[in-house]
Amino acid sequence: MVDNRSLGRTVHFYNALSPDDALGGLILNQSVTEKNFLFMLEILIVASNPYSLSLRGSGEVLTPSDAPLKPGQYDIRSNAPGGAIE
């Protein structure tokens, strides 16, 4: 039997061009800040172009701050023309 490892995750991130296919996620705790999350993504995502991350629904763009990360779905967008992360 295969367990669904995404159960319980309160944060998910997506390629904005494929908004139905989660790339990953995590179970949020009080120690995760926006800065921590962006650092984690730098390790996981190898992108040929700079990208930005926004909270789905609000469009709020994350910045490397010590603000607590909010639960939700985050879209990754390339800052290059076309918007695809590669």
Residue 55 domain-assigned (yes or no): yes
Task: Answer yes or no: is pLDDT of 1 > 50.
Answer: no
Residue 86 domain-assigned (yes or no): no
Domain of residue 51 covers 11-78
CATH number, domain at 44?
3.10.20
pLDDT band at 58 (very low <50, low <70, confident <90, very high): very high
Q: Is the pTM of this model over 0.85?
A: no
Q: What is the mean pLDDT of the chain?
A: 86
Residue 83 domain-assigned (yes or no): no
* SS3 readout for 22-65: EEEEECCCCCCEHHHHHHHHHHHCCCCCCEEEEECCCCCECCCC
Whole-number Å distance between alpha carbons of 4 and 59: 28
Task: Answer yes or no: is pLDDT of 79 > 60.
Answer: yes
Residue 84 domain-assigned (yes or no): no
Residue 1 domain-assigned (yes or no): no
